[in-house]
Structure 1
Amino acid sequence: MAKPLVSDEVWAVVAPLLPSRPPRPKGGRPPVDDRAALTGILSVLRSGIPWEMPPREMGRGSGMTYWRRLRDWQATGVWEKLHRVLLDRLGETNAIDWSRAALDSSRVPAKRGP
């Protein structure tokens, strides 16, 4: 059996960062589970396939569903928060090689004067 793209350990980090889903008073088709959506997003990004062509093994959800979830999570800052959490975890274990880091003034204002 293939190793899942979203392990329980990864999901435990990502799940608290995701926004809650609003209730659907009119019913309709239930939304794709967040973990399945994350698996679909990672599958498309990892393989480079078009959003319209997710593998059938993915199960529920279309490529457009995954793309919309990616867009929505980007708009709510999920990816930035996840990036921060992962950097913090790596920093706690001294697993970041700062000799390969680079800063520029697009993220950090340049210091003026002597």
Structure 2
Amino acid sequence: MGADRAVVAEKVQRRYRHPGRRRLDDRKALCGILFVLYTAIPWEFLPQELGFGSGMTCWRRLRDWQQAGVWDRLHQLLLAELHAGDQLDWSKAVVDSSHVRALRAAQNRSEPGRPRQGGLETPRDHRR
């Protein structure tokens, strides 16, 4: 996985004329992201004393990495490495589609949380 690490981490250059603050190290930002996700605290409550940067910095880094496809590539690399080492046990795998939006179900409801009656509903104006 050594050669593939360059694919995941991209070097961000500082501006020459207006460099601003130094960019937080990716490892520290990752630790901050994991801390917030593990403890379920709000981003703004990430303790500065831990050295992970601010919650907003970690949130932005998470957003940027998500948009750049870093998490998908990391997942693929991890699966490939585990597969190559024969460390995957597919007999214990679980398939779950709860992360997929159900667009059709949302269209088939007349009121939020109330299923439609399959075309048998009559508008209230016509019940007189």
User: Fold conserved (TM > 0.5)?
Assistant: yes
Aligned equivalent of 2:44, options 52, 56, 64:
52
Structure 1 stretches of at least 4 aligned residues deviating more than 6 Å after TM superposition: none
RMSD: 2.5
Greater RCO, CA 8 A, separation 6+:
1
My pick for the range that moved more, 12-21 or 65-74, is 12-21
Are residues 1:19 and 2:6 paired? no
After superposition, the C-alpha distances for 1:34-72 in whole angstroms (9 at most, x for unaligned) are 111111111111111111111233225100000000000
- When Rg is computed on C-alpha atoms for both structures, the one with the higher figure is 2
CA contact (8 A) 1:14 1:82 kept: no
Identity of aligned residues (%): 48
| 1:13 to 1:83, Cα distance in 2 relative to 1, 3 A | farther
Q: Structure 1 length as normaliser, TM-score?
A: 0.70
Structure 2 vs 1, CA of residues 60 and 83 (structure 1 numbering), >3 Å: closer, same or farther? closer
Query: Could you tell me whether the CA contact under 8 Å between 2:33 and 2:59 is conserved in 1?
Result: yes
Secondary structure of 1:52's aligned partner: helix
In the alignment of these two chains, the number of paired residues is 94
Distance in 1 (CA, whole Å) between partners of 2:48 and 2:35 is: 12
Normalising by structure 2, report the TM-score: 0.63
